[in-house]
């Protein structure tokens, strides 16, 4: 299989309406987890996770039982499962945000799970209440299937990159507010208070999320500033000299608009060795952050992991 087939193309123009609808659906599911899961540092309790078939909440507490909500992007259904064996499914095609919201809430109630969420979307301009949003109602199964393949690839490479760090590091997880798959490393030092100001996100959430010095990388399908799928890497707080470092590969650049290093997804997709090109970007941009901020790299790093090989100490 060629790298182009393994890493499919997904220009944002080809699935923008589906992307916008799916983003809002993930917010509904994510907000259900937000209401039930106890707060974990850096809002890690709200994130979704990549599976072989899509995205999952992982188990959510419901008294003495748990429930889990899964987006299945192969069969194109939303599946709600409980630890006592009950299950409900909702077809993804043909749903507006309003009908999806109503269907999910009805299925939860039918399972005896009663939860109320904030209906206003987060981190998006001009939000519409979920129960009233009939504008967003697109679902292109082929585009969503290609998006899943990209997520599976990125999740694999990010998890490999994560093995080379001994210090505090996040899981590889999907944030539904910004619709990106991310992994973050921490120096162990406190950071200056974040100024807040993220659209439709409480300042207290942003301040808690950026409470400690970090180097973060991720993938997202595109945004207003970068209107194409791309990888990013940033440091908080940004250390002097960080943005002037040359990172790998040649296609990577520092975006003044975003304050982040950017690597277009197509530069990875079309490479002869996509995994290695992405790993080069992750490592070199992390090097830039850690060196500029004088992290204790000897204490924080280790040789990348190998399957079945115990790390030597």
Map tokens 């992390």 to a residue. 286
Residue 86 backbone phi and psi in degrees, to 5: -80, 155
Q: How far apart are CA 291 and CA 150, in angstroms?
A: 30
Q: How far apart are CA 66 and CA 163, in angstroms?
A: 30
Nearest to 233 by CA among 197, 270, 199, 280: 280
From residue 237, alpha-carbon distances to 62, 215, 273 in Å are 38, 9, 32
Largest CA distance in the chain: 57
pLDDT the model gives residue 311: 93
Ordered alpha helix ranges (H), the chain: 3-6, 16-36, 97-110, 141-162, 203-209, 265-269, 274-292, 297-300
pLDDT the model gives residue 225: 84
Burial of 215 from C-beta contacts in 10 A (0-12 / 13-18 / 19+): buried
pLDDT the model gives residue 168: 98
Nearest to 79 by CA among 67, 69, 91: 69
Map tokens 């008294």 to a residue. 63
pLDDT the model gives residue 293: 98
Tokens, residue 54: 């899509």
pLDDT the model gives residue 171: 98
pLDDT the model gives residue 2: 62
Q: Are 181 and 156 in contact (CB under 8 A)?
A: no
Map tokens 């999910």 to a residue. 104
pLDDT the model gives residue 1: 57
pLDDT in tens, the chain (313 residues): 566 679 999 999 999 999 999 999 999 999 999 999 999 999 999 999 999 999 999 999 999 999 999 999 999 999 999 999 999 999 999 999 999 999 999 999 999 999 999 999 999 989 999 999 999 999 999 999 999 999 999 999 999 999 999 999 999 999 999 999 999 999 999 999 999 988 788 999 999 999 999 999 999 999 878 999 999 999 999 999 999 999 999 999 999 999 999 999 999 999 999 999 999 999 999 999 999 999 999 999 999 999 999 998 9
Question: What is the pTM (predicted TM-score) of this model?
Answer: 0.96
pLDDT the model gives residue 4: 63
SS3 label, residue 77: strand
């Amino acid at each position: 299989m060629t790298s182009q087939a393994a890493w499919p193309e997904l220009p944002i123009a080809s699935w923008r309406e589906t992307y916008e609808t799916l983003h809002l659906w993930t917010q509904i599911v994510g907000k259900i987890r937000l209401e039930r899961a106890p707060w974990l540092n850096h809002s890690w309790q709200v994130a979704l996770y990549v599976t072989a078939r899509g995205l999952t909440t992982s188990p959510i507490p419901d008294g003495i039982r748990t429930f889990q909500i899964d987006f299945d992007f192969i069969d194109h259904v939303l599946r709600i499962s409980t630890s006592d064996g009950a299950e409900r499914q909702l077809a993804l095609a043909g749903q507006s945000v309003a009908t999806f919201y109503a269907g999910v809430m009805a299925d939860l109630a039918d399972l005896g799970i009663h939860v109320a969420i904030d209906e206003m979307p987060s981190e998006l301009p001009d939000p519409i209440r979920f129960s009233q949003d009939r504008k967003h109602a697109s679902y292109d199964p082929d585009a969503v299937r290609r998006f899943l393949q990209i997520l599976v690839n990125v999740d694999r490479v990010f998890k490999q990159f994560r093995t080379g760090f001994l210090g505090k590091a996040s899981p590889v997880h999907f944030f539904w507010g910004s619709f990106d798959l991310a992994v973050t490393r921490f120096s162990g030092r406190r950071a200056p208070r974040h100024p807040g100001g993220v659209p439709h996100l409480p300042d207290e959430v942003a301040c808690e999320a950026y409470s400690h010095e970090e180097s973060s990388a991720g993938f997202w399908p595109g945004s207003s500033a970068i209107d194409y799928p791309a990888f990013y890497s940033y440091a908080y707080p940004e250390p002097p000299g960080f943005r002037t470092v040359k990172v790998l590969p040649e296609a990577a650049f520092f975006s003044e608009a975003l304050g982040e290093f950017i690597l277009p997804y197509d530069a990875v997709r079309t490479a002869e060795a996509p995994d290695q090109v992405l790993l080069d970007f992750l490592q070199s941009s992390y090097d830039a952050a850690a060196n500029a901020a004088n992290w204790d790299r000897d204490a924080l790093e280790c040789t990348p992991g190998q399957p079945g090989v115990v790390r030597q100490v």
